[in-house]
Amino acid sequence: MPHVTEKLHQDHEKVEKMFKKLLQTKDDDASTRQKLCQQIATELRAHMEFEEKVFYPALRQAGDGAGEKVRHSVHEHNEAKQLLDQLISCDPKSEEFLDIAGQLQEAVEHHVREEEDSIFDLAQEKLEDGDAEQMAMRHDTMAREYKQQHAAR
């Protein structure tokens, strides 16, 4: 099993690609926008849930300002969640749609950059290999469960 940060990095890349597709859609392609929006929402929510419930708590005690980094990250998650809610409730045919999508994409990109630059280093340094691999497995299980639950709605 790879290190948990590899799993998280893969999620980051996946969402980045979805955003690229979304930002290229036209105002008359509401169904593609809706579909991509739902995919992005599911990916982001599953990812943030894992980080908030499993990954961040494991790092909180690691020293080197970890507590502050985690608090800052959770704050950025909350900002992203608000933008995501705005995007979901926005009419996909409206002029604001791509504007909100762009704001969310930027917020996520900024967060991902910070996370990969500071939190991932900390995780690679402080987590025991066994724990990091176990967390990677937990990541996959939680993501699968989240997606099953939300497909069933």
CB 85 within 8 A of CB 104: no
Residue 23: closest CA among 102, 103, 81: 102
CB 77 within 8 A of CB 45: no
Cα gap 139→100, rounded to integer Å: 29
Residue 91 CA, distance from chain mean position? 23
The residue sitting closest to Fe ion, measured at its beta carbon, is: 51
Q: Which of 15, 51, 59, 101 binds Fe ion (CB under 5 A)?
A: 51
Q: Which window, 59-67, 94-102, 110-118, 128-136, contacts Fe ion (CB under 5 A)? A: 110-118
Cβ proximity to Fe ion: between 43 and 51 the closer is: 51
Burial of 17 (0-12, 13-18, 19+ CB in 10 A): exposed
Binding mask 111-130 for Fe ion (x = CB under 5 A): ----x---------------
Q: Does 43 bind Fe ion (CB under 5 A)?
A: no
Q: Which window, 82-90, 98-106, 107-115, 130-138, contacts Fe ion (CB under 5 A)? A: 107-115
Which residue ranges make up the site for Fe ion (CB under 5 A)? 8, 51, 115
